[in-house]
Amino acid sequence: MSLFKRIFSKEKKETLDKGLEKTKSSFFSKLSKAVAGKTKVDDDVLDNLEEVLVSSDVGVETTLKVIERIEERVAKDKYLGTEELNSILREEIAGLLAETNVGNDTDFCIPANKKPYVIMVVGVNGVGKTTTIGKLAAQFTKTGKKVVLGAADTFRAAAIDQLQVWADRVGVPIVRQEMGSDPASVAYDTLKSGVAQDADVIIIDTAGRLHNKVNLMNELTKIKRVMQKVVADAPHDVLLVLDGSTGQNAFEQAKQFTKATEVTSLAVTKLDGTAKGGVVIGISDQFQIPVKYIGVGEGIDDLQVFNKIEFVDSFFK
């Protein structure tokens, strides 16, 4: 299929292949059980396949769409051998994801006409926000962009220090205040400082845990409003980080967050070391919001721009 002939960077592909190892070995062992003793894709096989997809965290709705597509193929082709199931799945999942016009990026890039480009990173605690910010800062710096970080997670002293460690590691400036200070004030200072330094990209870290959800959402709204005093159309990107290793929980978080506050893109982290990587397929099918980045390790280079073709290609290789 020509769709798969595009050439992606070899290192990126190797990192992705490795990051998806656990997901793939679990998926394919279930898949081979699902077709054991069967030569033809029949109703039994389709039932088993449905179970495999659901238990691989693809999500019920997306699974049903995939099964429907395969049923249509079975009806048309009359005979489909089970040995073809792998490539059929790959084609149908790729086809399904291709119906949305997102997830086609291949490089870390930002719109040329927005300077500074302000990214506000949100998500519940422990999902990988600060780590993702560090990795993003490294990637943007590599492409020659001037990056400034803002430590607006003032809830814990360790959170500020953790962002500082990343800033030092990447070699970018950070704006910080004391623990317990007003996050909106830190965000304001960061934008002021970023504009003064002629920054290309400003990334704002936020707290994942506050006393309750309403407080958290109010806090995020306030941060946005205050940032707009400096850069009228900020934030340009509200990036929701989701922990892929929590599978269906990540789905739920995405639903709740997008209902409560405006989110413009998603990052799914910790795909390495989990068998739940199928969740990315479901999330990119079901949310109107694009999955922009995926985290495939703890290292500085273990963040990738999500590309659905690459992802499906790596998954079914």
Least distance in angstroms from the C-beta of 270 to ligand GTP: 4
Location of structure tokens 């086809």: 95
Tell me if 208 contacts ligand GTP by CB under 6 A: yes
Rounded Cα–Cα distance for residues 141 and 4 (Å): 30
Q: Which stretch binds Mg ion (CB under 5 A): 159-167, 186-194, 267-275, 300-308?
A: 159-167
Q: Strand (E) positions, the chain? A: 117-122, 147-152, 174-175, 201-206, 237-243, 265-269, 291-295, 303-305
Report the partner that residue 127 touches, choosing among ligand GTP, Mg ion, none (CB closer than 5 to 8 A by kind). Answer: ligand GTP
124 is an annotated ligand-binding site residue:
yes
Task: State the Cα angle at 248 between 284 and 106, rounded to 5°.
Answer: 25
127 is an annotated ligand-binding site residue:
yes
# residues near Mg ion by CB under 5 A: 3
Which 60-89 residues touch Mg ion, going by CB under 5 A? none
Q: Work out whether strand 303-305 and strand 291-295 pair parallel, antiparallel, or are unpaired.
A: antiparallel
Least distance in angstroms from the C-beta of 22 to ligand GTP: 11
Nearer to ligand GTP, 189 or 272 (CB): 272
Report the partner that residue 82 touches, choosing among Mg ion, ligand GTP, none (CB closer than 5 to 8 A by kind). Answer: none
Nearer to Mg ion, 6 or 169 (CB): 169
> Which stretch of DSSP H or E encloses residue 219?
helix 213-227
Amino acid at 110: I
SS3 283: helix
> Which residue among 62, 131, 261, 304 contacts ligand GTP (CB under 6 A)?
131
Which 93-122 residues touch Mg ion, going by CB under 5 A? none
Q: Which stretch binds ligand GTP (CB under 6 A): 37-45, 124-132, 187-195, 211-219?
A: 124-132
# residues near ligand GTP by CB under 6 A: 20
Rounded Cα–Cα distance for residues 304 and 310 (Å): 11
Location of structure tokens 């506000």: 120
**Helices 279-286 and 60-77 sit at what angle, rounded to 10 degrees?**
90
Nearer to ligand GTP, 187 or 231 (CB): 187
Nearer to Mg ion, 159 or 199 (CB): 159
Least distance in angstroms from the C-beta of 296 to ligand GTP: 6
DSSP-derived secondary structure letter, 1: -
Centre a 10 Å sphere on the Cβ of residue 101 and count the other Cβ atoms it contains.
7
Rounded Cα–Cα distance for residues 250 and 94 (Å): 22
> Which residue among 15, 130, 206, 245 contacts Mg ion (CB under 5 A)?
130
Nearest to 151 by CA among 228, 211, 209, 206: 206
SS3 110: coil
Which 153-172 residues touch ligand GTP, going by CB under 6 A? 153, 159
Q: Work out whether strand 237-243 and strand 201-206 pair parallel, antiparallel, or are unpaired.
A: unpaired
> Which residue among 23, 261, 269, 284 contacts ligand GTP (CB under 6 A)?
269
Nearest to 150 by CA among 117, 183, 179, 180: 183
> Which residue among 95, 126, 171, 180 contacts ligand GTP (CB under 6 A)?
126
Report the partner that residue 261 touches, choosing among ligand GTP, Mg ion, none (CB closer than 5 to 8 A by kind). Answer: none
Which spans of this chain sit near Mg ion (rule: CB under 5 A)? Answer: 129-130, 159
- Binding region for ligand GTP (CB under 6 A): 123, 125-131, 153, 159, 208, 269-270, 272-273, 295-298, 302
For the annotated binding site, the residues are 123-130, 205-209, 269-272
